[in-house]
Structure 1
Amino acid sequence: MPVSSTTVTRRTLLMLLAGALTLLAIVAMSGWLAESTRRYSQAVARMTEIRVVAGNLLSQLQDAEIGQRGYLLTGDRHYLQPYENARNAVGGTVARLRRVNEGEAGTAGVVDRIGSLAVAKLEELEQTIALSEAGRKDEALAIVRTDRGMRLMDEARRSLADLIGQADAQLDAQVTAMGEQASLSRWVATLGTLFILLVVGGAVGIVLRYTRELVQAQRAIQILNGTLEQRVSERTVDLQRANDEIQRFAYIVSHDLRAPLVNVMGFTSEFQEGLASVRAHLDRQPAEQDDAVASEAKRAMAEDLPEAIGFIRASTTKMDRLINAILTLSRQGRRTLTPEPVSMQELLENTVASVRHQASELRCAIDVASPLPSLVSDRLALEQIFGNLIDNAVKYLDPVRPGRISVRGRADGNGLVFEVADNGRGIAPQDRERIFELFRRAGVQDRPGEGIGLAHVRALVRRLQGDVTVDSTPGQGSVFRITLPKILTLSPETPAHEA
């Protein structure tokens, strides 16, 4: 049953509404995830700083004790250098520890205890050193033998371990929450993208079905052209109206769906910036202090979250390419052809020159036969046809051998035949017609593309009243053969923009 323009518009609007609601949900979720990531980033940074400062304080107290012991044993003041450095730094380290724990009632008592122990330890060290300097070394050693300094050091170690343990517990909770958010982000992106792709697929289906019906209507006009000229004129008006409807549809798809995509990509960038901040804080943690929790956090920063962000970016980019493809194909059918004398020798040499640098990097030689026949046709369409074919030949080279691409042409009766031959991967027999269909590709999908180029080539060649075919052997190469009239003539009664 034919699809009316009203039905197409209604279905299109319903699909757009569903797609827009889905994108808005993804945008809202992305904003929430970005804010949550910022909070987690701050918490992880603070916990990491607590661990680092606590470790630094313990190291400074140990350095001070080592300097004191060395001096008491040898009497050489050079051994006091670690003590002096540590004594000057401990106060600042304790102050920094208080600052990073500010507002945490659960750790305030532990921090106060650590500060008192640090002061007491330094006083004990300073007392023994002063006695030794005054020549009362025996009294200094007697103080050391009381084990008071050892008890102070042990208490400081335990208190610092308690503080680090509490920080690790909070860090573990933050990492667990971030992992849950990463999983939620993947599910939201996956489900949202699948739904949007379904919407785009439905839109493409409507366009293709509507286009097929337009083609059938055009054929009916041609059959009735001899006797029903008036009806042909009326049908032509209907077809023009239908083509205008497709143009409006393509504009709606390309404009209204692309706008929410920009928001998704913007929030994804904010999410990625937050991820970079978290990763930077984790990377500043000394490697020797890494534990299972810190390692898991670093793995999540390096693998899980970048994977989720990459999935969102890849999905939105693919959707943008699909929308652009629909718009390109719909516009191409309305462009007015302008026949003019075209030197194929010059046109093909210029086309090859634009890809020669890329080909040389891939160890590929491109040869253009001379002389090539000239013709009267639409220059822009010819540039697009051969540009796509040569670009495809370079893209699908076989990496196991040096590439070779040949472009040649000859006269054949009332027409011309041009060939683009390569020694690339080749195309399986069952795929030789499939590759000219819209959004269809053949072979291993390891090159970028949406299956538009060859469909565009066939559409352009047919508009130029020609045809395109391919001969290929898998593993040996392909030959794309284009037949064109020597002179493109547009009949007065046929619109120049007819597809």
Structure 2
Amino acid sequence: MPISNAAFVRSTIILLVAGMIALLGIVGTSLWLVSKVQTYFAELVDVREVRSSAADLLSTLKDAETGQRGFVITGEVSFREPYDEALKAVAERQRLLGEKAAGFPAYAERIPEINRLVADKLAELAETVVAVESGQAANAVTLVKTDRGRLLMDQLRDQLGDIMADADRRLEAGVIDTLWSAGALRWTTVIGAIAIIAVLGGAAVIVAQYTRDIVVARREVETLNATLEKRVDERTEELIRANQEVQRFAYIVTHDLRAPLVNIMGFTSELQASLAAIQGYVLADEKPPSVDDILEARRAVSEDLPEAIGFIRSSTKKMDGLINAILKISRDGRRELKIERVDIKTLIETGAAAVNHQVSESDGEITIDEKLPTVISDRLSLEQVFGNLFDNAIKYQSPDRPLRISVTARNAGRAGFYIEFTDNGRGIAPEDHERVFELFRRSGTQDRPGEGIGLAHVRSLMRNLGGDIVVKSELGQGTTFVLRLPPDLSKVVRSMQA
């Protein structure tokens, strides 16, 4: 529907206001989230430094204890070197831990006790080392065995371990908060960007549509003025062709429906004749039936009646199939077309994938042109058209060679697109080229099941889409169905309504 000037101005103002609100919301939310991320990150850094200092102090004390134990056991100077190096680092580790923990009251209150335990542990280590150096190794071993050093180390592990465990919990919570804030910031940015793009896109669409409506209206006026006579001739030709098809359709329907009806009438008469023989046998009340009457009644029951009923049933079944086929084409003709953009290449690839296993059974292949067009048309109708053509190619493939199917296209300008659907199957005799598109008509050897409605349905669908279909084929040389398809069905519909 064309956009009026008032609607265009109103829509533009609304989009501008919406864009301003979205931009202010993005800026405010982004600033708040950035502040939260900075706060969380700074706290993470501080907590990580406290944990690192506690871990370094505990590791240094372990190194000192390891060196002390080795020196006490062996008395070799090489085992004392780790002990001496650890002692040099302990004071610095204590200082760093005290500085980093000062910002956290829960950690700071543990520092005096940790310093006391460190002093006691270092005194215990020094006592054993001095004993070994003075030649009293046995006394040093005795001191180690008192478990005093182990108890001090366990207490240090508990104190420092509690700090590290609490720091780990804080780090985990901080990471979660930081990730949440970062994710919220990211989504805020994405949603804001989408909102702004939507606003800009909406504005662009409105402007483009407004401009396009003006251009289209001008072109339509020019086209209508230039091609009015041509369109009248085309409409007249279409009406004549439609009238001919209605007449041919009426003839075919009445002829094909009359044939099974005649069978039903004939076999109904046979039923009446058989019933007379049975009545003569069953209703005989004055004298017993003769041998001929009995034989006639038995033959009627065992042969005539089943045969007549079987033929009547098959005839009614055929009539039901014909009526259902007519109803199917009628329903499809009344269905409202859903006009949308359709990628012909994707549509044909989907149809080819559905029958690929059947084609592969004969070592066949399907080749699809890369330059198939995109049109404005009814997707469901085109799916039915290509599905029928694929089924036909498989049904009537030549048994002496692998099936080959190819789909190509060419642009014919104002006439639309021509799509050629080619197979190397049995082929169709020239005199049957039009017959195959007639309802309930088939050509060639009838060794495949079918009612003769497939190609008639395809032609009906193509003409509903403003196009047509013709066939080029020779017996034994394969078949090419040429489909003419308008690039934009909406223009065809508007032209028909004009």
Same fold (TM over 0.5): no
* More contact order relative to length (CA 8 Å, sep ≥ 6): 1
Q: Structure 1 length normalisation: TM-score?
A: 0.44
